[in-house]
A and B are shown apart, each in its own frame.
Chain A
Amino acid sequence: MFFLPASRLTGQKMSLPLLDRARERDTHFTMTPRSGAAHRHASRCGTSLSVSVPPMPSRDLLPGEQYRFHFDMTRCIGCKCCVVACNEQNGNPAAINWRRVGEIEGGWYPNTQRFHLSMACNHCLEPTCLKGCPVDAYSKDPLTGVVLHSAESCIGCQYCTWNCSYGVPQYNPERGVVGKCDLCHHRLSDGREPACVSACPETAIQIEIVNLAEWRREYASSANAPGLPSADDSISSTRITLPENLPPDTRKADFFRVKPEHPHWPLVIMTVLTQLSVGAFATLWLLQLLGKTARLSIAALVSFLVAGLALNASTLHLGRPIHAYRALKMWKRSWLSREVLLFCCFSGVASLYAALLWFRLPGSVTLGALTSLFGAAGVTASACIYVVPARPAWNSKHTLAEFFLTGMVLGPLLAASAGVGEHRLLVTVAATAAGSQLLNQAVKFFWLTASEAFELQASARLLATQLARPFLGGSALLVLAAMILPFLSSAWYATWALLAVALAAEILGRYVFFVSVVPKNMAASYVAAGEAAT
């Protein structure tokens, strides 16, 4: 295991309460200002920098308890010492900040209110990062409650970065794995403060003990803050002390700064092509049921190759492609594992189905049914990966509809292009699906526009401004595919052109799907963090 074995945590070092252990070390320094009048003399010169709020708990954990951060917004001055200290502690490059400081602002001059949020991992009671992880890289430490991530197990699929409402896990492209705050639990078990706690000149960050059952009842009133996503998604354990009388218009300073997300090209290709392949196999099977047999084997072979291409493309998305096989591990819990498993089954059965068709062996109808079934299940699993609360624009039925419609547009067109006959029927099905896809996107856009959630509105804003060209371009191609091309000609080249246009429309549409989502996240600074200096 990557993290400390429980035996070490419960060993001798844990026998003393944390603060006592902290005091045992002469090198260790704790300071908490704004105490009562009793000043502890801190140095020879009679200086009176003194301590009252203990930055660390003074006793051990009891069963049913865990450690957590307390952030006191009334004390924070936004100096970002915690951010720098965290990066130094963990040797992270400047662009990766496991602790971040955001700004919130409200009120009117001169009664303006501006505050800062300093947040690291919230060591949630129901960590969404953990639930989604396909390789079991996450664990919630049974003793301390710390949500731990193992860089050894991680394959860099970044699914946790989509699942966390706070944007806590961050992908490190240099190393190919995700990383996150571990509450400096090695330091904690040594009786030392986490780096951020120790660096804060204002004692705005402290470590506390929380009773889990109580917190489940009370978190709603103490884990939420303006500029922070709802704690409901994962029951954040961080307690936040808010200033009194925050103006009602208080919002994050970066409210108007919305930028497109990463396009994840390997995933654009992978999702569109798997859906194409599934759609094509389903079409072939249905044609087989209708008694058509012409050129089915060629079409099946092409569809199978497309599926293979798609699955291989998906590994390019991983930070550690060589360990891709590990993604099968958590099929009981993670939709990503299920997707991988189902598509593996799909491609296995599909290869058999294609082989039976090729060699004209019996049993192909049954295998065709199985292929379609696994394919449909795989597409459903694909969609479920994206239907997560932390990415509100994906978190709807539109995602499932979009994925299936992609298969229904492209599958029949591939079959038609392979020359399986029933041209008119296939093109009509595809055109209808393309029309439905257009409708799906239009309805989604209006849903985004009408929504009151910041992230959904921001997605609509992106589609209407920065992403207007690809969004409208994709829609125009769909119109072309649904309403114009099918009526032009039924020649083989027209069918190929139709497939090409539809494929382009779907790829563009999927690109827009990936880049237009505005994830939930904590407030940031007004000015966007930059690339690190060289």
Chain B
Amino acid sequence: MNLKRQLGLDILREEYAYSVDPVVGYTSSQKIPDRWVSTTCGYCSVGCGLFIGVKDQRAVSVRGNPSHPVNAGKLCPKGLSEHYTLQASNRARFPLLRKGRKLVRVDWSEALSTMVERFHAVQRRYGSDALGVISTGQLVTEEFYTLGKLVQLGLATKNYDGNTTLCMASAVSGYKRSFGSDGPPGAYEDLAKADVIFLLGANIADNHPILCQWLDANPARTLIVADPRVTKTAMMADLFLSLKPRSDIALLNAIIEVLIQRDLVDRAYIDAHTTGFAQLAESVHKYSPEFASGITGLSVSQIYRAALAYGHAQAPLIAWTMGINHSTKGAETVNAINNLALITGKVGKPGASPFSITGQCNAMGTREAGFTSSLPGYRKFESAADREELASLWGIKPQRIPESRGLAYPDIVEACIAKKIRALWVIATNPVVSFPNFAVLQQSLEGLDFFVVQDGFHPTPTSELADLVLPAAIWGEKEGTYTNSERRVSKVNAAIPPPGEARPDFDIFLELAKKLGCYGELFPGWTQPQDAFEEWKRVSAGRLCDYSGLDYQLLECHGGIQWPFPKDAFEVKTTRLYSDGKFQTDDGKGRLLPVEWEPFPEQPNTDFPFVLNTGRTVEHWHTRTKTEKVPILEHLSPNAWLEMNPRDALALKLKAHDRVDIISSRGRVSSVELRVTEIVAPGQVFIPFHYAEANANRVTQSAFDPISREPNYKQCAVRVEKSQPAPQFFGVRGSPKTFRRLSVNCKAKVHQENK
């Protein structure tokens, strides 16, 4: 310690001084920037507009954009502290190549040459599909578009998927099945205009807090929340439906049955704009409120109240998130939601839509422009016309475009184990923490010949296992566009240069294309994201997600514009899809699809008596690579916890704040702080999944939706035991972080020795 400080001289007076910023007003001097850079938040898909304050090439503050149509100046705690992610100590700075056991710093040229060499070696020996690529929802749309072309046409593998499959795939599949295309029909404005808002499996107060102000702007709304857990959002509800885990389909079918019985459906709309009503009516007939009550655990009167509130509403909005998507019946549950909206004719109307609230900041961008589960522009792999149209736009032979999608994320992981995939490229995602059933993932990564991780952060639990780490620029260091949940395209701008030798993903992709020799063909003359954007505008023209009327300047000026925005669009306004009742199916009609309730796959039993639910908390983002080093967020939520009902805790002789282990047939999460609380029902427990040191995915299961391939994260059978005291190192209790470091080092060694 400093002697002056010891004596008590105020050596930090300057640091704690205040000054007046012309825009923000009186505030801490350290936070006053030289300039403000306008951009869009890089965390979730709400898509808030904000400014980054830059002083001497450092991001020192963030403030909400008061004229942004999404957030009107407000930000959540993550957004308010987002500038710290740019200064984080765990940023990836240099390309690292594994030589022997160690990751060694190399230059970019060696890194990319090695990558191309090793990928080609694998592809030559095992076939071109022996390369797998897993991306994210965090890149800009321009990068997704570029990456899609690079992977599918340049690297010629179709085994390319993104984190979207762990997140939004069920909504995508559900929309495609019901409406013929992906694309959420509604807008945030609907939250303010609806008279009934039905939130299913969506804890917006924790996960999308800025959407809550839209709810608050709606004085006349009735809010119905269905969730097995008494979430912060449940506390906002006028009617809270505390249904049993994964009983949503029974609830939705019962509501449909009540509406049909009471003739609260829109017969004219059904006749004109849908097919399959007779089959639907027959399939839901058995879901009387009494029958559904047995499945959902709700009272008959609760089901009637929800059904009648929805049925009598002029503008009912149904919105959902991961409670619906993270399920082996995810896509079908989305269909049940769409059924309800279709039979009442409440699709794409002001205030009324079946509205999927998305996860990551640009999950929508990868759905539109990516080349994973669809062709760019929501085109179908299966459609020859779509393939030909794309090929002619790109000036390539149609045969080069695959006729079916490649393996989905979980199937790529499985193919790695089966040695069908030998090399893997992971971009801006952290499967070691985010993928279910860690034991399987570990096996899959250990068997790889070559494993590349491209990320803005290193070490992450995943990048530590890589053979090659490519350091990427993150939000705030690169340019492009994000699309939010309501199809609003917003501009993202670079405020500061990336640290060390890190480069924007876009540059990395182009550089790789040059090494691969496909740059001239696929990306002729491209140097900046705008080049990709211009091509993407042409590719999306005439499609549902039509960008052709947009340009960067227009986006900057309006702080985000919703697609479709065709060339001839003359006004920036709220848009909705399917308002005219015309859908993207062959016959233009919405599909009513009968859906049956099924129990979730792994039921509790005597060995594993609890149903484990996983979720999030407002302070952290995903696998915490971004928020772990944001001091205020880490301070506010430093460790994981397990919620358990007091009745269960009493039976297990567990006390509040005890350390417990969570055990499933697949693995164990050790030393988690127990929260004894009435937030969860007896028989259920809940853990946030953000924390690598208490990785919930060590116990979750490998069960995937057969349609969307989305994992069933929300229910698995576990038991809970009091933890044994932690081992002591020289009398000092090892911190969870030490353990993580130790275990990861061990894993890295195993990984190396297996080769």
Contacts and interface: CB of A to CB of B under 8 A. Distances in A.
Interface of A: 27, 29, 31, 33-37, 39, 42-50, 75, 77-81, 83-85, 87-91, 93-95, 97, 105, 107-110, 112-115, 151-152, 155-156, 174-177, 184, 186-187, 190, 192, 195, 199-203, 253, 255-257, 318-323, 525-534
B205 A321 contact: no
Contact of A89 (B28, B242, B645): B28
B635 A91 contact: no
A527 B217 contact: no
Given A33-B216, A34-B218, A321-B8, 11 more contacts: A27-B66, A31-B74, A33-B213, A36-B219, A43-B69, A45-B572, A46-B573, A85-B80, A113-B235, A531-B635, A533-B628
A91 B31 contact: yes
8 contacts: A31-B73, A35-B219, A79-B77, A176-B10, A201-B213, A322-B8, A528-B638, A533-B629
Interface string B630-667: 11111111110100010000000001110000000000
B67 interface: yes
Contact of B209 (A48, A77, A530): A77
B77 A80 contact: yes
B657 A257 contact: yes
Contact of A45 (B31, B236, B573, B676): B573
A50 B15 CA distance: 38
A107 B646 CA distance: 12
B10 A77 contact: no
Interface string B141-178: 00000000000000000000000000000000000000
A192 B213 CA distance: 21
A533 B5 contact: no
Contact of A88 (B68, B81, B676): B81
B632 A83 contact: yes
Contact of B28 (A48, A90, A156): A90
Contacts of B66: 27, 29
A327 to B, nearest CB: 12
B192 interface: yes
- Please list the 7 inter-chain residue pairs (A to B) with the smallest Cβ-Cβ separation, ordered nearest first: A530-B638, A320-B8, A33-B216, A91-B28, A110-B242, A29-B66, A94-B631
A481 to B, nearest CB: 30
Nearest to A82: B77
A134 to B, nearest CB: 15
Contacts of A43: 67-69, 72, 559
Nearest to A95: B635
B634 A46 contact: no
B493 to A, nearest CB: 20
A174 B15 CA distance: 11
Contact of B680 (A88, A109, A318): A109
B679 A89 contact: no
Contacts of B682: 109
Contacts of B629: 533-534
A319 B10 CA distance: 10
Interface-central residue, A79, A187, A526, by most chain B CB under 10 Å: A79
- Which of B77, B628, B676, B678 has its CB near the most chain A CB atoms (within 10 A)? B678
Most chain A Cβ neighbours within 10 Å, of B16, B18, B193: B16
A84 B205 CA distance: 17
A202 B213 contact: yes
Contacts of A94: 631-632, 634-635
Contact of B636 (A33, A47, A83): A83
A174 B216 CA distance: 41
Nearest to A203: B216
Contacts of A322: 7-9
A43 B632 CA distance: 32
A530 B16 contact: no
Given A78-B618, A530-B639, A34 B216 contact: yes
Interface secondary structure of B, over-half rule: loop
B8 A91 contact: no
Contact of A527 (B27, B76, B673): B673
B35 interface: no
Interface in B1-36: 5-10, 12, 15-16, 18, 20, 23, 25-31
A201 B30 CA distance: 25
A122 to B, nearest CB: 21
A176 B5 contact: yes
B677 A105 contact: yes
Contacts of A155: 8
Interface residues of B, number: 88
A156 B219 contact: no
B600 interface: no
B657 A78 contact: no
Contact of B77 (A31, A84, A323): A84
Contact of B205 (A46, A77, A184): A77
Contact of A175 (B12, B30, B75, B574): B12
B440 interface: no
A69 to B, nearest CB: 18
Interface in B249-295: none
B681 interface: yes
Nearest to B11: A175
A84 B678 contact: no
A91 B15 CA distance: 8
Nearest to A533: B634
Given A156-B8, A192-B26, A527 B638 contact: yes
B546 interface: no
Given A29-B66, A201-B212, A202-B216, A184 B26 contact: yes
Contacts of B104: none
Contacts of A79: 76-77, 205, 209, 212, 618
Contact of B23 (A27, A34, A175): A27
A329 B386 CA distance: 84
A321 B1 CA distance: 15
Contact of B631 (A75, A93, A320): A93
B80 A109 contact: no
B57 interface: no
A107 B230 CA distance: 11
Nearest to B619: A80
Contact of A174 (B12, B26, B630, B638): B12
Nearest to A115: B235
Contacts of A151: 10, 16
A114 B227 CA distance: 15
B729 to A, nearest CB: 19
Contact of A199 (B10, B80, B189): B80
B645 A77 contact: no
A323 B681 CA distance: 57
Contacts of B67: 42-43
B10 A37 contact: no
